[in-house]
Structure formats: structure tokens, C-alpha cells
Structure 1
């Protein structure tokens, strides 16, 4: 069928709308009201809305030692975002101190549980009746030790916590994808940490489930690698390494999460080459996540919103 001018106008209008619907990166832009550097985005879907829980890089940061609190971004359409700003300051708790990097949040039995690292690898927990707080202490000491905690709740209600044993070995020597059960109270381990990957990883473990398969993502080298398994704790045989989701990394260590929202999957990540940022001043972004017929992931392409420029060279693949 030959397209006339009217058809072409409609076609390009729809194409533009499709691109703009998610090609708006970064989520927060320098110069906008209430701008903050939002890193380590952990996206969750609650009550028909997307909430992105982020660590917070300071405007003057030259390393990660000044990470000390957490912010929340909210959207019901992935176009317009509300920045709730700093919602949790764990250093106000007498027992939490030191560097506070990547967090995660999980909902169970009427409570939202906020898992945050302090002193890099000690995992504390706060809780709230709403996705944005106010947050109160759920514990008065660490519940475990792991790097970059993430929590996944399976269809049967069983909760699991994941991370990597970067910074200290838990079990086998080396850095691996690690997992453990959580008790129903969400603040105690229900058994030991288990190694889930044959391959070594650096950090940033995340888990999600799609069509009965469990996916584990983590930073491997300077890219996001991923594994697939038939169970939430695949131990011998370990989860199967499938390759890489990202082709390259944008001036920041890769840290990611994935959600399904309104029948579309999305991949959230961070980059340090926008908003006059650096390796230590990062900004949250997201892309559509697509799959092959066999469930494997199609590598993503990074996008930027109209008029947004990069200010740093791409980190090379090593």
C-alpha cells in the first residue's frame, strides 16, 4: 500500500510518541526543580505506580564515602516523575554508619521493607506502611552481611535476599551471585547464604521472574551479565550464564533493576556522563527490556532525551 502525506504524518507522530514515551533519560535533569543525583535505581511496582528507590550521590562527591541517605522517585506513566527527595536517613539510627550504597524495597503483610547497606556491607532494615515513608527502624542491628542487597518475593509468598560476596567471602572463595531465604518476618535469614553462579561477578545483583523462569543480573566486568534458572536458589547446577544485557557502560559501574509495568518490561540503570556528572555523581535512567522467544534478553541500546548531551567518554569494555 502506498502511503500518502497524511499517512506519513500520522506514522511519524506515532513513532515520535513511542520514542518520547521512554527516551527521556535521565529521569531527573540538572536545572530542574529539586534535582538530585539519583544512583543505584531499584524499581518496584506498587498500586499501579512505579517507585524507584535510589542511593544519593552528593553534588560535590569525588568518591562514594559521602553516600548517606536515600531518595524515591514515583510515576504512574513513566513520563512524569515526582521526586520525593530524601526519605530515609539511616545515619539517624544509632547503629547505622559509614557508606550507604545500593538499596532495595519489598512489600509483605502490609509493610514496605527498606533494605539498605551501611558500612558498605552491613544490611539494615526500615519499614513503612506506604511506599514512600515515613520509615521507622525494623531492626536495631544488621540482619546479615552482603554487598548490594536485593529482595525478591516469589509467587508463593516466600521472600529471598540476594547480593554478591564482594568485600568478603561467604562460603566459596571469590565473588559470586549469592542468595538466601528470608523468614516471614522479613528481617531474619531462614538458612545460610548459597552460591548461585559458577562465574564470578563484581556487584549489583538483581533478581526477577518472567514466565516461570528466574533471572539474575549482576555487573560482570563493565557490563550487565545475566543468568537464568528454574528455581530461586539454583545450586549445583548453578544458574546458567546467558550473556550480556548491555553492550557497553556509560561512565559508572553498572547497577540495574527490571520491572514489568503495564505489560511492558523495563530496565533501570545509572550513568555518570549526563547532568554534568561523573563516575561518582550518577543519574538514573531506563529503557524498554525485550526478550527473544526462548526467554533470552535482547541487548539494550542506551538512549537520551531530546537535547541531553553526554559530557564524558564511554567506559571501554574490559
Structure 2
């Protein structure tokens, strides 16, 4: 074969390989933000029946007005981290007769074949501090229909040892079956045990002691270590602490997600799905995004040899397809 022809064939082969690689990359990554046709905030992941569900709030504020404008909640489901299905709205302020607005952060968990959706929402009648309460909706399916489970709020300003701003619920069911509810904001965190019915508190409300806690608590467990992640300061980074007990004491470990461009809030959920760990959060990365117009993002979560969380590497690609 002549040298010129060999070089030409080599060049064609190399181009073909690069083209194939680019095509695979385009097909095998969703891109961040994961949702681009609406604004989504405060994500909470849940795995059920080989599917990852991510429940989110819904920002509808315009580009100039201030404060968060939110009326309902959605879910997005995926089996491969690239192809997502949109569901909703699945729940709204109107589904709670005692509520008057502000559908803030929420968290969904399954127990005994039922799905419990804990929501932050402003109360019509009870306002001692900020007026926010935590309610619970229930359904027989991860996609509903959901209905108010108790007809009143679970946590209000009148709950002993509640906080000034009762938002950002996160529920964790421990290995022994005991359920715990964490919540809080304005530098104050709380936790309480839940009864088996998931609708009543069991015992007193405890103060959460964690360095630099601001809001957005979330619990996950890996091996024998409990991880408490949360937003710190304001504007917020995501920081975390660890413990060998879900009730603490908590050892501070540091920052895992830096400040977000254009978004003062940082709100995370962490989940293991099909052998991978994912850090699920919101950003303000869409062209018209901002403080009150946020968007769901997903990136990998990795640990070092000691089980400590590595700082999250935020990407434009999101995570690779699970094949």
C-alpha cells in the first residue's frame, strides 16, 4: 500500500472513531439542567421498582419580581439517568384545606406500600413566627393520586421546640424500622421520631446540632456511616457531617458543593441507584434562570477510601446513561 493511501485511510478511520465517540456521548448524556421546559427546585430523590423518582418544587416567578413563587410539586422519573418522564403537577397548595400558599421544599418516602409526601407550606391560621408548617400527603403509588393524610399540619409554629421557619422536611427510615423527620431553616435544625403510621410524632422535638447548619437537611447512610448534608450560610454552599448514629453527635466534614452562580439557595438530595451514587440539586443555569428560577441537576457523588464525600464536580453533561 502506498504511504499516502495508508495515511489517508488512517485519517478516515480516526475521523470515524471520533465521530462515533461524539455520537455516543450525545446519546448517552442528558445534560444539566436535566429539565429545561420549566423551572424546578428543591429536589428529593426516591428509588422504587427499578425507577428513580425525583420530586421537585416548581418556580413560576417572573424575571423581575422578588421572593419565591411556588404553588405545586412535580416528579420526574428515569430508569437510565438520561431518559426522563415528567409527571404533574401531582400535588398543590389547594390539596391542603388548611394551607394558603408557598409550596416550598418537600420529600417523599415509601413505607408499607404507601407513599408519604412531606411538604413545606404556609398555614392559613397558625402564625406565631413565619407561619410555615409541614403537612403530609399519602398515595398508593409513587405518582399518586395524593391526598392530605391527616387533614391538618404535622408541624406548625405552635409545635413545642419548632423553629422560626418550619420548612425543608426530610424523612429517613433506619434499619430498625424507626422513622425520623428532620427539618429547619434560619440556622436552626430539628428532628423528631415518627410513629409507624408516619403521620404522628413520637416523643419530643430535638434540636439538631450540626456545624454551619442553615437549612435543607438530608440524611443518607452508606455502610455503617450516617451522612447529614445541608445548606450552610446564605448564599449557601452544601456542607456535611457524619455520625455512627442517626441522632448524632455529628462530626463536621466540610463543603461538598460550592456556591451556585445566580442561585442563593443550595438544596440537595443524595441517592444510590443501580450501583451509582448521585448528587441531585438545583442550579440557576438556564438562560433566564436566577435566584427564584431554579433548575434540577444531577451529578455523580463519590467517596474516598475512608468513606468521606469528595467535593462534587458539577458538569454540563450530567451523568452517563446506565446501560
Same fold (TM over 0.5): yes
Mapped partners of 1:213, 1:87: distance in 2: 34
| Deviation at residue 14 of structure 1 after TM alignment | 6.7
**Count of residue correspondences:** 287
Could you tell me how far apart the structure 2 residues matched to 1:216 and 1:15 are? 38
Matches within 5 A, 1:122-133: 122-133=133-144
Alpha-carbon distance in structure 2 between the residues aligned to 1:233 and 1:49: 30
Q: Are positions 1:56 and 2:38 aligned together?
A: no
Greater mean deviation of Cα atoms: 4-13 or 191-200: 4-13
Aligned-pair CA distance for 1:199: 1.8
Cα contact 1:96–1:124 (8 A) shared by 2:
no
Q: Relative to 1, partners in 2 of residues 1:210 and 1:11: Cα closer, same or farther, differing over 3 Å?
A: farther
Stretch moving more, 194-203 or 211-220: 194-203
Contact 1:197-1:240 at 8 Å conserved across structures: no
Between 286-295 and 50-59, report the one with greater CA deviation: 50-59
1:157 Cα deviation (Å)? 1.7
Could you state the TM-score of these two structures normalised by the residue count of structure 2?
Answer: 0.82
1:169 alignment partner in structure 2: none
- The answer to whether residue 166 in structure 2 is matched with residue 144 in structure 1 is no
Per the TM alignment, residue 303 of structure 1 is displaced from its structure 2 partner at its CA by 1.0
Change beyond 3 A, Cα 1:129–1:155: same
Say which of 310, 313, 316 aligns to 1:298.
310
Q: Aligned ranges for residues 53-202 of structure 1 at < 5 Å? A: 53-58=55-60, 60=62, 62-119=65-122, 121-145=132-156, 146-166=166-186, 175-202=187-214
Superposed CA deviations along residues 117-152 of structure 1, whole A, max 9, x for unmatched, are 111630011100000111111011111143210111
Q: Greater CA radius of gyration, 1 or 2?
A: 2
1:165-314 counterparts in 2 under 5 A?
165-166=185-186, 175-221=187-233, 222-234=236-248, 238-252=249-263, 253-305=265-317
> 1:113–1:246: structure 2 CA closer, same or farther, 3 Å change rule?
same
3-state SS in 2 of match to 1:250: coil
Distance change in 2, residues 1:20/1:296 (3 Å):
farther
Contact 1:20 1:305 in 2 (8 A): no
Q: Which SS does the other structure have where 1:187 is aligned?
A: coil
Are 1:42 and 2:44 matched, yes or no?
yes
Q: Deviations over 1:136-185 (max 9, x none)?
A: 1101111114321011112222111111253xxxxxxxx24432111101
Q: Is contact 1:289–1:298 with CA below 8 Å preserved after alignment?
A: yes
Question: 1:39: Cα distance to partner?
Answer: 0.6
Question: Does the aligned pair in 2 maintain the 1:214–1:232 contact within 8 Å?
Answer: yes
State the match for 1:314 in structure 2: none
Determine the structure 1 residue equivalent to 2:321: none
Q: Structure 1: where are the runs of 5+ without partners?
A: 30-34, 167-174, 307-318
- Give 1:93 shift: 2.6
Structure 2 residues without counterparts, runs of 5 or longer = 1-9, 123-130, 157-165, 319-323
- C-alpha distance after superposition, 1:212-255 (max 9, x if no partner): 11100111122100010011111xxx200100111332322100
**SS across alignment from 1:290:** coil
More strand by share: 2
Q: Is the 8 A contact 2:39 2:293 kept in 1?
A: yes
* Aligned counterparts of 1:25 and 1:14: Cα–Cα separation in 2: 20
